[in-house]
Homo-oligomer: A and B are copies of this chain.
Amino acid sequence: MGNCLVAQSGGPTAVINASLAGVVRANQLNPIYDHVYGGIHGIEGVLEEKLYDLTNLSGAEIELLRQTPSSALGTCRYKLKRDNPADFERLLTIMDKNDIDVMFYIGGNDSMDTVDALSEYAAAHNSKKRFVGIPKTVDNDLVPVDHCPGFPSAAKLACLVTHATRLDYDAYTRPEVFVLETMGRDAGWLAASCCLTGDVDLLVLPEVDFDREKFLAQVQKKMDEVGSCYIVVSEGAHYADGTYISAGDTANDGFAHAVLGGAAQTLKQMIIDAGIAPRGVVQDLSRAARSSNFAQSKIDVTEAYELGMSAHMRSANPEFTAQVVGVKRGNARKMECSGGSCQMIESYNAEFFAGPASEFANYVKAFPTDWILPDYQGITEDALEYFRPLVEGEPAIIYGKDGMPATIEPFNKR
């Protein structure tokens, strides 16, 4: 038997390690690979042959890995380019040298493109090496899936912070606005999810070109009517000409995406300058929201783990390559009891599937415009229905030192 390789790429999430744990555990349940190697720092470390043998992690270590946020193997922003065959050759050579048949890559759109490109290259060069994608992204912008692992936990934390900061804001009498900024480069899923708590007055998404006057009129209206205005803005919100609201740094991060941040600060200043409110409070969720271990969604942890298992199990088929595993939303009946009587009701159910990596790669699934209410008023009931099951439920947590959730020591730091 040969070996397999797992690596992580792109921004960390709360549950990307749960997918890693799923691959490792699946191979313990059915050892179709002699070794499960972890690639340190994604493709970047793999190209330098930095591998960590995960095959025999104990059950307790796998449990810890499953609840540890961020990327325990380390991540990278390095992208394999189709016009740079040297990297492709080098990767196949390293796989050969280490008897690796299959590589699992856990990442977002760009990583799924890498899976596609590598599979294509291998096929064109008579190599039997196979490549399988496992999705993750807090942005929730992958096309063929219902949602991406990592998003539900990020949404849950965003909702928790929204409600807590709304209560904090509501304790005051002085006229001021509150602006919460969430991640979301091209899609407004995370910002939109904040509406679940019923606390958001105005929502600014990348899916609707920003209209300064229209927005300010709505802020004015809220301040006139109730004396307060709680705003959520996605970091990627922009004007019709594509200019970001953000006043922040626009340097590149290596993938030719602008580095965003500062949309909330800009909106606050815009409102003050317009004389609508004399003060404003800004809360930027950025890093605190995307890979926490104190607000994981139970469904998210479970599905991320199971997607890791699913990828491993499907890879037993020697034809399985250039594929990505994902979750679609099905309905199933569950028992709900109240007041002494129980009934079966329709409820959320995850259905696992695999599809061509090309369908996942390089497309961005925007938040549906027919789920967006006009005039920055938030989202529709259909959208709320979509979000609801994702954030529910608390995973059982193993606590460690000083009452903090226990985490595993990252493999890239060993």
Complex: A121 Cα to B156 Cα, angstroms: 49
A161 in the interface, Cβ–Cβ < 8 Å? yes
What is the minimal beta-carbon distance from A383 to any residue of chain B, in angstroms? 13
Chain A positions 98 through 131: 1 when the CB is less than 8 Å from some CB of chain B, otherwise 0 = 0000000000000000000000000000000000
A391 in the interface, Cβ–Cβ < 8 Å? yes
**Residues in B neighbouring A407, C-beta threshold 8 A:** 163, 167
Contact between B160 and A75 (Cβ–Cβ < 8 Å)?
no
Within 8 A of B (CB), among A28-78: 41, 44, 68-71, 74-77
With A288-B165, A413-B170 known as contacts, the answer to whether A404 contacts B75 (CB < 8 A) is: no
A12 in the interface, Cβ–Cβ < 8 Å? yes
Residue among B70, B163, B285 making CB contact with A404, cutoff 8 Å: B163
A293 in the interface, Cβ–Cβ < 8 Å? yes
With A170-B70, A293-B164, A294-B164 known as contacts, the answer to whether A281 contacts B285 (CB < 8 A) is: no
Chain A positions 277 through 313: 1 when the CB is less than 8 Å from some CB of chain B, otherwise 0 = 0000101111110111111010000000000000000
Copies per complex of this chain: 2
Residue among B69, B170, B402 making CB contact with A196, cutoff 8 Å: B402
Complex: A170 Cα to B12 Cα, angstroms: 10
With A288-B283, A292-B161, A403-B391 known as contacts, the answer to whether A412 contacts B171 (CB < 8 A) is: yes
With A70-B170, A167-B69 known as contacts, the answer to whether A404 contacts B160 (CB < 8 A) is: yes
**Residues in B neighbouring A71, C-beta threshold 8 A:** 171
Closest Cβ neighbor of A164 among chain B residues: B292
**Residues in B neighbouring A391, C-beta threshold 8 A:** 402-404
Residues of A within 8 A of B (CB-CB), count: 59
A82 in the interface, Cβ–Cβ < 8 Å? no
Complex: A163 Cα to B294 Cα, angstroms: 10
Residue among B77, B169, B196 making CB contact with A174, cutoff 8 Å: B77
What is the minimal beta-carbon distance from A169 to any residue of chain B, in angstroms? 8
With A402-B392, A404-B197, A412-B170 known as contacts, the answer to whether A164 contacts B291 (CB < 8 A) is: yes
**Residues in B neighbouring A393, C-beta threshold 8 A:** 403
Complex: A402 Cα to B291 Cα, angstroms: 21
**Residues in B neighbouring A168, C-beta threshold 8 A:** 12, 69-70, 287, 290-291
**Residues in B neighbouring A404, C-beta threshold 8 A:** 159-160, 163, 197, 391
Q: A164-B292, A285-B288, A294-B295 are in contact. List 9 more A-B contacts (CB 8 A).
A: A44-B173, A75-B172, A159-B402, A161-B292, A167-B291, A169-B287, A170-B412, A283-B287, A393-B403
